[in-house]
Structure 1
Amino acid sequence: MQVPNPSYRYYQKFKGVWKSDDGACTAEFTEHGKIMAEYGGARLESYYDVSGIDPLDSMNPQPVPGLMEMAGFGEVRHPGECMRFHISNRTFYDGDKTLYSLTAWYTFDAVLKFELMDLNDGGRNEITMKKEETVSVPDTMIGSVDADGSYHCGCGYVGPASKFCPECGKMI
């Protein structure tokens, strides 16, 4: 049986908010393959796909031969890279100015790496991203009301109990 969307497992793995150590770069990945990122006031909003890489290929960070072995048509493998992000529009915009181009990959060490190339001077900045931990509600609490009157809905709403959930409209 064929999987309808083989990348869905990757979307689930990466969904959430990722931040750099210094907080200068923030990215949010959705389970539907969308990425929204911000760096230095510039924003990127695009769609992405993820593909796994053969571990032997990632040991040697060298250009892979491209179209008819022509120079400039190869892609570089980064050390430790195990998953490559294919982003449909890799450009960060600040208003109508294009500032950065993004390359992203995931490593065997469970680290997400962004490489931002400054489109004005060609300088490259490699950023290590970490997933922001989210507080989750235990499954036993979903659909229940606490002793203090807080309702926990399956959509994520937590607040005062009433007849309907104000977020999704579900009857309580």
Structure 2
Amino acid sequence: MGADTHTLKVPGAMLQRGFWLYVWRVDTPEGELLYVGRTGDSSSPNAAPPYARMGQHLGHVKASNALRAHLVRAGVKPESCQAFDLIAHGPLYAEQDDMGSHRGPRDIVAALEKQLACTLATAGYKVLNTVHCRQPLDKEIWSMVKAAFIEHFPDIGEH
């Protein structure tokens, strides 16, 4: 195996802690696959920046490598992929100080995450994960989120 040089450019804004929505666009040997996620933990008041999820998603720690696990389950070896593109939108809300104030933004962003995953799938994109959430969707915030992701996923404009 020969050595190669690669680059990764991360905008400084992606270092902000808070509640973000993101989509991984993965160019696999079998075609494009998507993974939809959010920051804003369900078990603690933490809301990490999206750059922090990058290594976790592709790492080998089972508790946090959801993207890797979904790719492997789909028969795709992550190291065989041509590229991983992270499209992140946020922060929609700032990180909160305690669980009481964390739950509101967490639940709103969880509903947005589910809607984004469903909308992408309905528009014909191949989404690896299914997002489960029973929280009500804030339609006003959803329209802003959808507008932000249309630039990268134009087919969602029809749905």
TM interval, shorter chain, is under 0.3
**Greater relative CO, 1 or 2 (CA 8 Å, sep 6+):** 2
Structure with the larger helix share:
2
Structure with the larger strand share:
1
Give the structure-2-normalised TM-score: 0.20
Q: Which structure has the larger Rg?
A: 1
